[in-house]
Amino acid sequence: MRKWFLFLFLMIHPLQSEENGRARAELIISHTSIQAGQSIPAAIRMVYEKGWHGYWINPGESGMRTEVEWQLPAGWTAGPLQFPAPKRFVTGELASYGYEGELLIPLILTAPASIEGAHTIQGSVSWLACNDKSCVSGEATVQVELATGKALPSSQAAVIDAAMAKLPTVDQSLQLTVTQAGDVVNLTLTGAAHLDLREAEFFPVTEQALDPGEVLVWKKTATGYEARAKKNEYADKELSQLSLVIVPKSPLRAFLVEWKK
């Protein structure tokens, strides 16, 4: 159904195709060399032009997430892209989740059990960038060279480590419970006494579960926090799972909470 949202958006805001896609992409790595069987952090760095934004893993009512199609040497693997907490954008009547400015999307590269010589790590990055008037698709080939040998940190190691530290983490004390009455989704979060969530931001990782146009407002209770949300009109009759990213004002870090029926 997300494609239908995008179709409606593009009826009003035309899709263009430009060489730079209103953004630039590059692949950065934490080490310049690697030994057989080792894994190293890496990241896709996206830089969007001023006034333009890209999209999160759940784009919301419009947009498409940034993706990579890898062309790797034999035996190499690339882990999934790990998206940091997004921002919320409202264009016209459509709400979406994404990023502006500079963004690092971390991932893990793993070498095969036997390697020698130099290795070219290459991928094709595709994205959609939008402003309040139009959307532009973009694509770029990114690559880095890795030598075989003792792992040596690169000049980007600290930047990638900082990006990894900003990714949503699981706090085992947080427990999410979800009940549903018609189109209303009732959310209860316990184990959150150490967090002030009254002005926190919440982003649904699960696509087509909650209405992106509605901002969650949580009320503190004796046992935790409660909120009511409107179910996405294209959601299944009964939700069976829900994942949320929570970004409190203090501490300023992102948490991931998950519920399954």
Q: Where are the domains of the chain?
A: 2-165, 169-260
Give percent of the chain above pLDDT 90. 74
pLDDT at 94: 86
Task: Out of 2.60.40.1250, 3.60.60.10, 2.40.30.10, 3.40.50.300, select the CATH number for domain 2-165.
Answer: 2.60.40.1250
Give percent of the chain above pLDDT 70. 93
CA distance 137 to 128: 5
pLDDT at 2: 45
Check whether 171 has a pLDDT greater than 70.
Answer: yes
Number of H helices, E strands in the chain: 2, 21
- Does residue 134 contact residue 13 with C-beta atoms inside 8 Å? yes
Q: Is the pTM of this model over 0.75?
A: yes
Check whether 18 has a pLDDT greater than 60.
Answer: no
pLDDT at 19: 55
- H or E element that contains 226: strand 224-230
Q: Which CATH architecture has domain 169-260?
A: Sandwich (2.60)
| Torsion sign over Cα 127, 129, 135, 137 | negative
CA distance 20 to 17: 9
Whether 2-165 and 169-260 share one fold: the answer is: yes
* Mean per-residue pLDDT, 98-110: 98
What residue type is 188 in one-letter code? T
- Does residue 26 contact residue 142 with C-beta atoms inside 8 Å? yes
* Mean per-residue pLDDT, 16-41: 88
**CA atoms lying within 13 Å on the CB side of residue 58:** 20
Residue 236 CA to its chain's centroid (Å): 23
DSSP 8-class letter at 24: E
CA distance 140 to 190: 44
Q: Range with the lowest mean pLDDT among 29-43, 45-59, 102-116, 243-257? A: 243-257
Check whether 205 has a pLDDT greater than 50.
Answer: yes
Q: What is the pLDDT of residues 191-202, one digit of tens each?
A: 998 888 878 999
Q: What is the pLDDT of residues 38-92, one digit of tens each?
A: 999 999 999 999 999 999 999 998 889 999 999 999 999 999 999 999 999 987 7
pLDDT tier, 3 (very low <50, low <70, confident <90, very high otherwise)? very low
pLDDT tier, 102 (very low <50, low <70, confident <90, very high otherwise)? very high
pLDDT at 5: 46
